Each structure stands twice: as structure tokens, then as C-alpha cells.
Amino acid sequence: MFLLPKYDSFWISLLVSNLIPFLAFSISRSLAPVNEGPEKRTSYESGIEPKGDAWIQFQIRYYMFALVFVILDVETVSLYPWAMSFREFGISAFIEAMIFVPILIVGLVYAWRKGALEWS
């Protein structure tokens, strides 16, 4: 009693979702102009020769700052569904939120003490 016809819409959407990027790339490849030349083979197409070394050191703190922001932002936004469905879930959702918020605060304090929030 295998119900394969129930999944026809799934297989069709899977096929279409795999076909769209393939079609987009193939149409782009066939319509795009091809201008091969010596400028195309340089590092930059602006005509200005690159100066200096490409392997320069950069400060990781900018990435750490962005990472901490994204993590705390996403975690804080996840509190919104809890607030909207508080009446349906009752006290268990409230207890989970009260466990979740201190974990966020501990993570923020840890990042603060490690200096991940210092910009300069």
C-alpha cells in the first residue's frame, strides 16, 4: 500500500527547483558576450596594475564583532515566537525562555570580557 502518487507534487517541485538554476546559468552562458584579451587575464580588469602583496594581515576582531552581533541578534529574534505563542504553550514556554535569556546574557558577558565587542 505504497502511496507514491501522493508525492507527485513534491517530485515536480524538486525537479523544477533543480532545473531553474541550471537554466539560469545556461541562458547566461549563451547570451553573455565573450571578450578574451590580455586585460582579461590580469588580476584586475580596471587597467591598474596591482601593488603590494595580496597576503596582508587583517584584524580578526571585525569578524568576531560581526559574529557576536549575528549570534546575539538571531538568538534574540528567536524570542519573538515564544512571546507570540505564550498563551498556547503556557508555563513551559515561559520556563524555557527564562532559561534561554540567562544563557544569552552569559554569552554576552563572556564576549565582553574577551574583548570581542571592542572596536578599536
Domain ranges of the chain: 4-33+59-114
Amino acid at residue number 8: D
Alpha helix positions (H), the chain:
8-31, 61-77, 79-84, 86-89, 91-114
Highest CATH level, class, for 4-33+59-114: mainly alpha
- Grid coordinates in use for 84? 507570540
- Report, as an integer, the average pLDDT of 26-32: 90
Distance from the Cα of residue 43 to its chain's centroid: 28
Write out pLDDT tens, residues 56-86: 777 777 777 788 888 888 888 888 888 888 7
Distance from the Cα of residue 96 to its chain's centroid: 26
pLDDT at 27 over 90: yes
- Report, as an integer, the average pLDDT of 13-25: 93
Write out pLDDT tens, residues 88-99: 888 888 888 889
- Distance set, CA 61 to CA 96, 105, 107 (Å): 32, 20, 17
The pLDDT of residue 3: 64
Confidence of residue 47 (pLDDT cuts 50, 70, 90): low
